[in-house]
Structure 1
């Protein structure tokens, strides 16, 4: 009888804790202060706005509007340039992220541009698990 081999299905993990991949539609979640409603990404011990210590997890809108951006022309070695770094207003929550799937020039990017959350693979480890990052892409 031939030995059996375990077949591992390659998985995906989010690059940041506030990116949720489990659902049909990936989305971001924020920690929302139960006292003042301020929202933060990543873990918090206290609210930077009112100093309260109770938070709930809140899903963030998948679509938003570019409120500010810069075209990055110089970066650390190994980082491809140019790229677009932006602040996206997602229904009142400000998200800092790169714009993807768009030409990084002033002809293609503008304040007020409608965008939606998009995910992409960043890399794969030796066991086949993909790290998944996020950015925002123009809404067609």
Structure 2
């Protein structure tokens, strides 16, 4: 198997049970979640954080079907916000047709890995999206 590297720091590919998940930074004071490095909490100005796992399943809260994008970006695609146990995650909806018949508010989704590219050494860059739960 080739080596895999996550496209973003908060995508964990080697979870304890071998599965992938997202990891957020949680403010110790107010429990707000962030996916990037923070020096202070945007909600309460707290300065202490801990890493917490984000559930791999969630509910689609809002979305848009993108029809126009920068050159080289395949369209259409679905850009969305998914509620994963109280943590808002921005990601694309994948593995389903990008139309209102297949993408609905409130639908249940789960984390899905996507290959972004592979370099000459065979190292695979891995991103994520969410796919409908069957």
- What TM-score bracket applies, with the shorter chain setting the length? over 0.9
Displacement of 1:125 after TM fit?
A: 1.0
1:1-140 equivalent positions in 2, closer than 5 A: 10-23=2-15, 24-140=18-134
Distance in 2 (CA, whole Å) between partners of 1:76 and 1:52 is: 38
Size of the aligned set, in residue pairs, is 132
TM-score by length of 2: 0.97
* 8 Å CA contact retained: 1:86, 1:98: yes
Distance in 1 (CA, whole Å) between partners of 2:25 and 2:57 is: 19
Distance in 2 (CA, whole Å) between partners of 1:41 and 1:75 is: 24
Give the 4+ runs in structure 1 shifted more than 4 A. Answer: none
Displacement of 1:10 after TM fit?
A: 2.8
Cα deviation, 1:62-91, whole Å, max 9, x if unaligned, reads 000000000000000000000000000001
Distance in 1 (CA, whole Å) between partners of 2:2 and 2:59 is: 34
Any stretches of 5+ residues in structure 1 without a counterpart? 1-8
Any stretches of 5+ residues in structure 2 without a counterpart? none
